[in-house]
């Protein structure tokens, strides 16, 4: 009885710590957008770094507007990525989909070698300019690491645990949700973190096809050799990628702690 209570208390403590970490990550992301709204600070900092530049900020949109556009593009793309990659990875490890697993593995390996600009160029003739082709291209590029991690995580579940679940009479669906996915969760979260960073970084080339975002000042700065404009876009992108990666990692800990507590 005492051991059971102790284990339950430990799980609760782990969950509280995980929730606290997730709260810190969300708070840092919110603070980042507060920072993006301080145009005068960016003007002053970039003016000091590049005193010879007559224009150190992109003038057609504020940095906050560009950051929100970037968040929209990446958020929509990541939502589609998760909605496709998770069920696809699960299906490929089930008896009905295992025959397609070698082909899918080859496609995932080859697909990751295509540069983001090439993916955007392939989407452009079919979907034109704007948000839709950018999202399609980002999904095509970011779906690969997450799908691979789902497959790897599920395949890495020890066979003796699967046999034990079968011995208890678990339905395959119950075994998936109560045994396989919890054990594969760390690998899946690692793949999701890679997809998040890939998507945030790759979205900087989306303005080439008119999608907007933080890539706008980067491309504008490169076109006129203005490093101040390049940094105005590059620094927020790097900050968002780091904070989003941290937030997804904390979210994975919360999910893991929650499953551990229910178990």
pLDDT digit string, tens, across residues 148-167: 999 999 999 888 888 888 88
Determine whether domain 2-262 maps to CATH 3.40.50.300: no
Average pLDDT over residues 82-98: 91
237 and 200 Cβ atoms separated by less than 8 Å: yes
Nearest CA-CA partner of 204 in 112, 114, 115:
115
Q: Please give the Cα distance from 205 to 188 (Å, whole number).
A: 27
Residue 71: what are its φ and ψ, rounded to 5°?
-65, -40
**DSSP structure class, residue 205:** G
Average pLDDT over residues 131-147: 85
Judged against a pLDDT cut of 80, whether residue 70 lies above it is answered with yes
Q: 15-57 pLDDT, tens per residue? A: 788 888 889 999 999 999 999 999 999 999 999 999 988 888 8
Nearest CA-CA partner of 100 in 89, 111, 92:
92
Of 65 and 121, the one with more pLDDT: 65
Judged against a pLDDT cut of 70, whether residue 190 lies above it is answered with yes
Helical spans, DSSP H, in 93-130: 101-111, 116-127
Average pLDDT, the chain: 86
Q: What are the C-alpha distances in Å from 197 to residues 18, 21, 65, 117, 155? A: 21, 19, 20, 16, 24
67 and 214 Cβ atoms separated by less than 8 Å: yes
Judged against a pLDDT cut of 70, whether residue 125 lies above it is answered with yes
Average pLDDT over residues 125-129: 73
Judged against a pLDDT cut of 90, whether residue 236 lies above it is answered with yes
pLDDT the model gives residue 96? 85
**Residue 57 host element (H or E):** none
pLDDT the model gives residue 259? 57
pLDDT the model gives residue 136? 84
Judged against a pLDDT cut of 50, whether residue 261 lies above it is answered with no
Neighbour tally for 54: CB within 10 Å: 7
Lowest mean pLDDT among 8-12, 61-65, 96-100: 8-12
Q: Please give the Cα distance from 200 to 216 (Å, whole number).
A: 14
Structure tokens at 138: 């980002």
Instruction: Give me the residue spans of the domains in the chain.
Output: 2-262
pLDDT the model gives residue 263? 45
Q: Please report, in angstroms and rounded to a whole number, the separation of the first and last CA atoms in the chain.
A: 16
SS3 state of residue 97:
coil
């Amino acid at each position: 009885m005492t051991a059971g209570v102790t284990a339950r208390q430990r799980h609760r403590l782990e969950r509280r710590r995980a929730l606290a970490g997730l709260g810190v990550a969300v708070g840092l992301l919110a603070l980042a957008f507060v920072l993006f709204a301080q145009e005068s600070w960016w003007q002053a900092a970039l003016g000091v770094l590049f005193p010879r530049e007559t224009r150190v900020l992109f003038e057609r949109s504020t940095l906050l507007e560009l950051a929100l556009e970037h968040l929209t593009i990446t958020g929509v793309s990541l939502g589609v990525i998760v909605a496709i990659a998770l069920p696809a990875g699960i299906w490929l490890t089930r008896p009905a989909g295992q025959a397609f697993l070698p082909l899918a593995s080859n496609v995932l390996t080859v697909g990751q070698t295509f540069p983001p600009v090439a993916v955007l160029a392939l989407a452009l003739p079919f979907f034109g300019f704007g948000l839709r082709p950018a999202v399609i291209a980002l999904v095509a590029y970011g779906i690969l690491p997450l799908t691979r991690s789902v497959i790897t995580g599920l395949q890495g579940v020890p066979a003796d645990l699967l046999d034990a679940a079968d011995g208890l009479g678990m339905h395959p669906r119950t075994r998936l949700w109560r045994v396989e996915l919890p054990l594969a969760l760390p690998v899946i979260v690692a793949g999701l973190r890679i997809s998040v960073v890939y998507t945030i970084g790759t979205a900087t080339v989306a303005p080439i096809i008119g999608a907007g975002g933080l890539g706008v000042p980067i491309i504008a700065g490169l076109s006129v050799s203005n490093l101040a404009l390049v940094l105005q876009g590059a620094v927020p992108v790097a900050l968002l990628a780091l904070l989003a990666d941290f937030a997804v990692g904390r979210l994975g800990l919360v999910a893991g702690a929650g499953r551990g507590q229910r178990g």
